[in-house]
Structure 1
Amino acid sequence: MVTADDKPTYRVIDNREEYLSAVEKIAAGEGPIAVDAERASGYRYSQRAYLIQVFRRGAGTFLFDPPAVGSFAELNEAIKSTEWVFHAASQDLDCLREVGLDPELIFDTELGARLAGLPRVGLGTVVESLLGVHLAKEHSAADWSTRPLPDSWLVYAALDVELLIDLRDAVAALLEEQGKSEIARQEFADVLTRIARPSSRGEGWRRLSGVHSVKGGRNLAVAKELWEARDAFARETDIAPGRLVPDSSLVAVAKALPANKRELAAIKEFTGRASRSELGRWWDAVEVGLAATELPSLRTPGGDTLPPVKAWSDRNPDADRRLKAAKAAMTELAEELTIPLENVLTPVVLREISWDAPDPLTEEGVAASLAQLGARPWQIEASAHIIHQAFVEAMQEPEQADETAS
């Protein structure tokens, strides 16, 4: 464990001249490149990177200030074809792409650890398990938009990447030993190509925590207007919405339906740093909701087109039997492969193919449906036969029951 006396010091690169010099050094290094990014989630509205860490053997560790550096096009051009190593790449790719960093090949130690069957895959746990190094995570939820960044934060940020290459080698060895290297390759490639599904336009307010407890179209209209007013103000000030007024406060107002600004101010659950300083803003939103002529639907439009699984036995008994049989069979497969069930095949894919099974029901048809639903080749090869067999057996159950009854 690194002690306070032998911790190195780091400085942040915050100008183009030093940045371009760092690009040359990184390009001259050797082997994979470890990359990490720190955001200010919970503090800022944006999900931009406020610190980008890069480590490469033969080059060293580099900490960049993205707002100050600007475009990272030169660095991307120098290293884009090299393997980039992340821990949970899906969390960082969007903010890296915002500044021009877009890898062509990645190794994800978090996802690799999942595929290798490790029970816990947080960075600190995996590093300690495979490398024997204790990695403190006391600054993981810090406000990385802070300037200047404290020295202790910089040491924490640097360690996140300085250990990643060794961790990558350890995870790769585990995957190779278990015969899962090709599985990992396909999964890493999928992370790079996966496109985040955008939220339905105008329906972001439905993500309001606790909105499910708001009953009535008029109440939902007020909740919607309050959420949109807060979202606009948060974007304008680049402050996390919940730090202005928490979700619970908006829900409390939507339930209460205050008749005037005084009643709004009197709601004791209506708290937050901007609840009173921006009272006029919130009352304007409440008024719009109270006067709305088109009220929001009580049900979420779009989204998952399938009904809740608990309703399947009534609405589609055949699909219910298929899903139960396939899930049991896939659980056995996941245990055999020592890979979490959700990584062997995502639950939504299993539900989709169970609800609308291929007709005629053949193994080839199951494989084609899985491919259409986005399953990777290794997943199809491992599960198509098993799912087909489970579906066949599930469909035989009512036939056998009819024969017994007759």
Structure 2
Amino acid sequence: MQRSSRLRLTAAALSTVVAVVGTACSSGSGSTDAKGADSGTYTIWDPYPQFDKASAWTKLLDKCGTEAGVKIKRTGFDTSDLSNKALLAAQQDNSADVLIVDNPVVSTLAEAGVLTTTDDNKLDTSKVDPNLLAAGQSGGKTYGTPIGANTLALYYNKKVLKDAGVDIASVKDWTSLTAALEKVKKAGKKGITFSAIGTEEGSFQFLPWFWGAGAKLTELGSAQAVSALTLWTDWLKKGYAPNSVINNTQTTSWQEFAGGDYAFAENGTWQLANAEKVGFDYGILPIPASGGGNAAAPTGGEFVTIPVQGDTGRYATSQKLATCLTSTQNLYDTDTTLSYVAPTSEVQDKQVASNPALKPWVDAVKAAKGRTSDDLGTKYPKISEQMWKAVQSALSGAASPKDALTTAQSAVK
């Protein structure tokens, strides 16, 4: 396998990475140490700085190293810091041997020439759900394999719904969801909270409704897109959702829901531990599409990738490490630790057998979609920025949903 074409690492590539990372991932800091001097030491960079040397994650990395006959030098970075470090290390031909990176960044690193393809590195992706694998594909090539996925769904407060006379089984589409919100408001409680902040988080939370209307990211001004934004603006006008959503992050919207007065909250698998602490019975419902069924929600989660190396002799061992990390048993153990849904049906079935409460999340992940899917690659950040600006404009009353999205589409072009 030959080194790919000269790395095209530009300021634009760096800004693209900063724009798309961090929506649904952990944070912290890490060192910048690269490969050990010993050829028997392999470096792994990941976005899990919260895990120390005694953690199950670090022990798994060491176990995979032992099985491959090498020592592991692991560094955990903040998600955005990791992506930028990966670009800079590639410039210096000093990349990590294995790089675990947030899925929207894969196409950016791939287009910059940082990553090897699965055709070259021989990673087996045959068992991975195609909708999840798509986030790591660009230009018809695949650049890694997912280690796990998370996505969005609706948490609901069972008592609030019961007191309002709402049967959750009746909530199957936008019409029935809105009818439920109306009943909740009439009962003196609050409807739904979400994050519509003017950042990637806002786009991330709007996408299930956008895709659930049948809209496409290449056509922001379509009638389907307008219907999705109209849904949100109508909720605010009728008092079914609070004005605070305009500034809400996913964390602050969760805090609103945790107060116990809201019927619904749009949030992700990463809130499962917090959900056990809210002090009331809750349930989880996949976000409904406009006409029924499950809407596609955007996927969070990371890909295991193998960066381009000047010393091509390192690839064989890197492939062993990546294969070990994504084996059936290791995926099960890792995704349980990370609160992720596994990327393969085989492991998803094991997760649900062990914890039936994960079934709605597995359903949501099966319907989910990568933000850079449809071969959008590095076009996505620009589209997303115009999307969240349109959402902000419409929710604030500065423009109608149609005018806001028409302006957004013009800006993208």
TM score, norm. by length of structure 1: 0.24
TM score, norm. by length of structure 2: 0.24
Q: If each structure's helix is expressed as a fraction of its own residues, which one has the higher value?
A: 1
* Greater C-alpha Rg: 1
